[in-house]
Structure 1
Amino acid sequence: MILSNDELIKIRRHLHSIPELSMKEFKTHDYIKKIIASFPQTNLEIKELPELPTALLVLVKGYDPLRNIGYRCDMDALPVTEVNNSDYMSTNPGVMHACGHDIHVTVGLGILNYYSNNQPKDNLIFFFQPSEETMSGGKVAYDWGAFNGRFKIDEFYGLHDNPLLKTGVIGCRNGTLFAGTTEVNITIIGKSGHAAYPHLANDAVVIAASFINQVQIIISRNIDPIKCGVITFGKLEAGVIRNVIAGQARIEGTIRGLTQEMIEFIRERIKEIASGLEKSFNCQIKVEYDQGGYYPVENDPVLTKRFIDYMKNDPDVIFEETEPKMTGEDFGYLINKIPGTMFWLGVESKGALHSADFLPNEAAMEKGINAVTSFLNYRMNLEEA
């Protein structure tokens, strides 16, 4: 039986009421599995991942497959205290689906439900992914070999809800949709001393100030102005008391770029600046990077052109070509390894993504399911790769 819109809303609201943080999505996993168990099982095969115990892979066997098409939906929530007053608000204190992954999962279940009732031509593989917000669940799954054998994926699709787009609008662009992100940690080792005798010390605060100022020049003077890069240092720790010169400092920040090449260029320049300051100040500067799976979401040009052309010509879809955003998404890692396309689904919320008053319009879900199933049916009837 095909899920009704009322049933989809009921599923989404239950998911919204039980948000769980990355790698802890046990109730969410069990509920998704329960819903899938209510679908016709003739053509379904479920795969669990011991290395990622809250993940689920579901294969829908095609009747004449030429390829395996993947569809990803992430399921984790954020450490945000919800302020919306509803009868389905979060029951997990301090945790909320403030990024709309409850919408992502429900749309994925709706698409899976359609194909469990209407056998697809190609094989479809649904990846219900934990830990998108932290720890790169997509990377963990890929690196552990989740997409090998029968679950090998030839092309991957996934959506992200967008509160700035009208309800049900499909948004996409060729090229980069989301920036890649890299965490950067800097440890500066100088020499502590008395505030009255600076010549006998090596002030880590002064070194840190110089380092931060010089690194910001990378964006203003080393990068083409029409290309995007961001370096933000959000945390600086140094010193213990006002009259003691700090011997150590730690700086924590993030790098963002629209291409992996941009991120790697910024990383190399930061190391060069650190090396120069070590000589200038006769100190030690340790630079550590952690990108995890948060590569830029660089949409495959062939798949994405096909997707956009279809959505523009579908009379039941309102399509908008969107600008790239500097937010991060670990789907970027997956489509760095497997050709793929990510797109937006408009949910028209007054609250922004990651905010305590994020409140997506649930009418978007049915529109998203219809748009995606319509596109996939079209895609599966094309002979070309």
Structure 2
Amino acid sequence: MGTEHLIQIRRDLHRIPEIGFQEFKTQQYLLNLLNQFPEHRLDVKTWKTGIFALVKGTNPQKTIGYRADIDGLPITEETDYDFSSEHPGFMHACGHDFHMTIAIGILTHFVKNPISDNVLFLFQPAEEGPGGAEPMLNSDIAKEWKPDIITALHIAPELPVGTIATKPGLLFANTSELFIDLKGKGGHAAYPHTTNDMVVAACSLVTQLQTIIARNIDPLDSAVITIGKITGGTVQNIIAENARLEGTIRTLSVESMDKVKERIEAIVKGIEIGYSCKTMIDYGSMYHQVDNDEMLTREFMEYISDQTSYDVRECTEAMTGEDFGYMVDQISGFMFWLGVGSPYGLHHAKLQPNESAIGVAVDIMCKYISYKANQ
């Protein structure tokens, strides 16, 4: 499949972003592409809004897995593309349109150029939430076709095209959503002494939460609590009876995640007592850290450095979350960053990755997977 065809696929997918487990158009578009291949070379099975696609090897001794996430984000696009999102309020602002297209390019290569081993492609829904990797991996299809190793990539807007970056060991953090609801007693703004103001309680809580990072986490470790949204009250002259905090927790160790949650619960209990209110905590979706297999990652980096002209860099770990972590927790594998040279970053409404990076990724992964099949 030529580069121009792949770019058109990316643009088609960019037009139809859908959020987690609602990727119906995306799934159908991908199925239409996959159904063009002969059945004796490709076995396709659907799972919820995702897809398993097994490219059959000529003499398989193992199965090599490749994951591509397929969902979009609830972001209103602000690019000047003539192929911008046709779904108002939604955008492929994390590059999953690239991820799917690259997977199609790799899959096409191995359908047309058979290798000895099987190659399993997992088109995974709901990476941005509520999380599709863990249930997809626990499905009966995955158990039947479980790969021996697994790989994935993520676009990196800050890196130039032709560059990849990864590292052995911890690459991405443990992450958890955080929702805290406060319920007090509302009333007239002129009579605050008869109420329990949840706007005041919420403001106090935000400040106290930040002390967890400063005073309860080892300074040589890393953790972040972000409160990205606060809602409360109804109008300006009524004291708020309810307030809600929404945010995320990110840590570089499971132990720190447990410690942060323990301290959140203690502080929220103190808010209950101090502000005479009721509270509820919900951790929402939680993602396991991406811990790259040491040997496989080193091997991959050395292979790309020695056998290709691409720039390979060892990066530092990032506080970003990726539910691919559940896959490498059960299967030896790794993830890497793919440079796409965009002036705007991930989750930005103006993200515009350089489409020439698609061919780079397809070339890299076709060469590496062929190399692994010959081992």
Fold-level similarity (TM above 0.5): yes
Alignment of 1:1-385 (within 5 A): 3-49=1-47, 52=48, 54-149=49-144, 151-192=145-186, 201-240=195-234, 245-292=239-286, 294-382=287-375
Distance 1:203 1:342 in 2: 47
- The Cα offsets for residues 135-169 of structure 1, whole Å up to 9 and x where unpaired, read as 212233224334111x1122211111111111131
TM-score w.r.t. length of structure 1: 0.88
Stretch deviating more after TM superposition (331-340 or 241-250): 241-250
Name the SS of the counterpart of 2:92 in structure 1.
coil
Alignment: residue pair count: 375
Name the SS of the counterpart of 1:290 in structure 2.
coil
| Conserved? CA contact 1:171–1:343, under 8 Å | yes
| Conserved? CA contact 2:129–2:285, under 8 Å | no
Identity between Structure 1 and Structure 2 (%): 43
Stretch deviating more after TM superposition (156-165 or 237-246): 237-246
Name the SS of the counterpart of 1:217 in structure 2.
helix
Stretch deviating more after TM superposition (86-95 or 158-167): 86-95
Deviation at 1:227, TM superposition (A): 2.1
Distance 1:130 1:241 in 2: 39
Name the SS of the counterpart of 2:337 in structure 1.
strand
| Conserved? CA contact 2:130–2:285, under 8 Å | no
Deviation at 1:341, TM superposition (A): 0.8
Stretch deviating more after TM superposition (303-312 or 203-212): 203-212
Distance 1:32 1:366 in 2: 19
| Conserved? CA contact 1:168–1:365, under 8 Å | no
| Conserved? CA contact 1:73–1:104, under 8 Å | yes
Provide closer, same or farther for how the CA distance between residues 157 and 249 of structure 1 changes in structure 2, counting only shifts above 3 A. Answer: same
Distance 1:216 1:15 in 2: 40
Structure 2 residues without counterparts, runs of 5 or longer: none
Distance 1:330 1:7 in 2: 29
Deviation at 1:270, TM superposition (A): 0.8
TM-score w.r.t. length of structure 2: 0.90
Provide closer, same or farther for how the CA distance between residues 244 and 41 of structure 1 changes in structure 2, counting only shifts above 3 A. Answer: closer
| Conserved? CA contact 1:166–1:346, under 8 Å | yes
Provide closer, same or farther for how the CA distance between residues 238 and 377 of structure 1 changes in structure 2, counting only shifts above 3 A. Answer: same
Structure 1 residues without counterparts, runs of 5 or longer: none
* Residue identity in the other structure for 2:3: N
Stretch deviating more after TM superposition (222-231 or 276-285): 276-285
Provide closer, same or farther for how the CA distance between residues 212 and 41 of structure 1 changes in structure 2, counting only shifts above 3 A. Answer: same
